[in-house]
A and B are shown apart, each in its own frame.
Chain A
Amino acid sequence: NAGVTQTPKFRILKIGQSMTLQCAQDMNHNYMYWYRQDPGMGLKLIYYSVGAGITDKGEVPNGYNVSRSTTEDFPLRLELAAPSQTSVYFCASSYSTSGQGYEQYFGPGTRLTVT
């Protein structure tokens, strides 16, 4: 199993550009998550999904969009990049039921710089 994979590893964007961060998992997990980690800080939840076709906002969703058309994939879209979106983005997945979550497995991260 590859686990949780993310592409690209690094990216530099200009202000106002758009991009999609890719995330895939091969563990047949139903729940998937996007977090961002600013330097010297903990992770903050952007969006999560409980299954294909269902997504919900986390703590910091502004400026981002997500979709979940398959169990395996959970892309994160930045429409108009801003310097405040410079961060490391982590995707995670877990097997969970409503009200009972289990270990979240994280991908290797995407380091994004917006200048």
Chain B
Amino acid sequence: GENVEQHPSTLSVQEGDSAVIKCTYSDSASNYFPWYKQELGKRPQLIIDIRSNVGEKKDQRIAVTLNKTAKHFSLHITETQPEDSAVYFCAASNGGGADGLTFGKGTHLIIQP
């Protein structure tokens, strides 16, 4: 089955700086890659996703890049703010996301004031 590795497990950045979280996946048939944000004690919420026919997608301060050849994808957050502090999870699916997701172990992003 699919295996998703996520790095780093903890990331501390100064407010206003950029943060990058990286994930690799094992199944070359995977074609859907969402990113979820989870605040302490809350449910995961989708922040951005990308499909395998696209190399990059942006939404305001957030962007995701996908390298299918290397089987890795990354989340980029620019101009970080205190409210960006949370745990971020990457995920992958080979069913376009319909048949469930395989998640990474998460990255705890800490924004230092």
Contact = CB atoms under 8 A, between A and B. Distances in A.
Contacts of B93: 101
Q: How many B residues are at the interface, by size bracket?
A: 20 to 34
B43 A45 contact: no
B44 interface: yes
A48 B97 CA distance: 12
Contacts of B106: 40-42
A28 B87 CA distance: 29
Contacts of A90: 43-44
Interface residues of A, number: 28
Interface centre among B44, B95, B98, B105 (most CB of A within 10 A): B98
B10 to A, nearest CB: 11
Contacts of B32: 101
Interface of A: 31, 33, 40-45, 48, 50, 56, 58-59, 90, 94, 96-104, 106-109
Interface of B: 1, 4, 6, 32, 34, 42-46, 49, 89, 91, 93, 95-106
